[in-house]
Structures are given as structure tokens and as C-alpha cells.
């Protein structure tokens, strides 16, 4: 409670400030579904925002008819990335994907060798090993599948 006087008068008013939060139990399942789908937040992030348990949010989403596993791309949104391992060429900072300069150098070499010079993935692996580039595990041995994934992601982008 705060005493507040009115300017140039002898009157005092008492102002009571009460913080009112939305009770998610009062929000309908359709509203939760719309918010969940629109924002792209995870169930845990959604629950944290409303101050309830994750299981409450999951049950409300389930009641609304949304199938959680079918929301392809929700966890890979670059602005709200929730997977443990980012794609090669990126790092995760504050839940967002940001380019990784040292990995981008390797991505450019892979695109150059595989795409423009038409080397096989094995030849690209040998070239990276010969040049001494290390993978994420600080190993100089490269896997052809990793090279292929890097090429698919970055071909015609860099």
C-alpha cells in the first residue's frame, strides 16, 4: 500500500497495488493450443512462462488435439534452438544458432572440393586430414557421412 497525496490539496489517497497473474487453469485448451503453435516454445518453456508444471501444459496441449511429436522443426528453429548438437558450421549461444567461424572455414573447403572440384567424400576426408583440420571431437580423422551432411547443408549457400 502506498500513501499518495494529491498536489495542492490536503487529501491523501491510499493506492493498493496487487499483481494479478493469469491462471493457466482458466485458459482454455484451444487458447493454449493457439499460443503453443504460434510461439514455437517448448512445453518446458511454456510451463516456465506460466509458472505451472510441464506435465500440466503437456496434458492441456494433448487435450487440445496437438500431437507434440508431429511439430517438425520446432526444436530446430534458429531463434529458439533446443537440440544438444548444432549443425556443423553453427554454435549455440543463448538458445540461438550463430555461425561458427572456424567451422565455416571447413564448410567452405568441403563445398569447394566436393561441389566445384567434384571430389568424392572420401577424397575430401583425406584432403582435410592432410591439411590438419580437426573435427568437433578434436580428431583429424573425418567421416564421409559428416562430409556429405556438411555438403548438403552448405551447397549453394556459401
Residue 99 scores a pLDDT above 90: yes
Closest by CA to 147, choosing from 116, 117, 118, 114, is 114
Going by C-beta distance under 8 Å and a sequence separation of 6 or more, which residues neighbour residue 137? Answer: none
- Grid coordinates standing for 32? 493454449
46-74 average pLDDT score = 76
- CA gap 49, 80 in Å, rounded: 15
Is residue 121 scored above 90 in pLDDT?
A: yes
26-56 pLDDT, tens digit per residue, is 666 777 777 777 887 888 888 888 777 888 8
CB 22 within 8 A of CB 50: yes
Question: Which residue from 97, 15, 86, 21 is spatially nearest to 52, judged by alpha carbons?
Answer: 21
Amino acid at each position: 500500500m502506498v500513501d499518495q497525496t494529491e498536489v495542492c490539496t490536503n487529501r491523501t489517497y491510499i493506492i493498493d497495488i496487487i499483481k494479478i497473474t493469469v491462471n493457466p487453469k482458466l485458459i482454455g485448451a484451444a487458447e493454449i493450443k493457439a499460443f503453443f503453435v504460434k510461439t514455437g516454445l517448448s512445453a518446458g518453456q511454456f510451463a516456465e512462462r506460466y509458472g505451472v508444471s510441464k506435465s500440466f501444459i503437456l496434458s492441456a496441449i494433448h487435450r487440445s488435439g496437438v500431437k507434440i511429436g508431429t511439430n517438425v522443426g520446432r526444436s530446430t528453429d534458429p531463434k529458439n534452438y533446443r537440440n544438444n548438437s548444432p549443425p556443423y558450421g553453427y554454435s549455440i549461444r543463448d538458445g540461438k544458432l550463430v555461425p561458427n567461424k572456424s567451422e565455416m572455414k571447413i564448410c567452405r573447403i568441403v563445398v569447394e572440393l566436393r561441389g566445384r572440384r567434384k571430389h568424392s567424400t572420401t577424397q575430401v576426408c583425406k584432403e582435410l586430414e592432410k591439411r590438419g583440420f580437426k573435427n568437433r571431437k578434436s580428431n583429424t580423422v573425418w567421416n564421409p557421412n559428416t562430409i556429405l551432411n556438411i555438403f548438403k547443408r552448405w551447397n549453394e549457400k556459401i
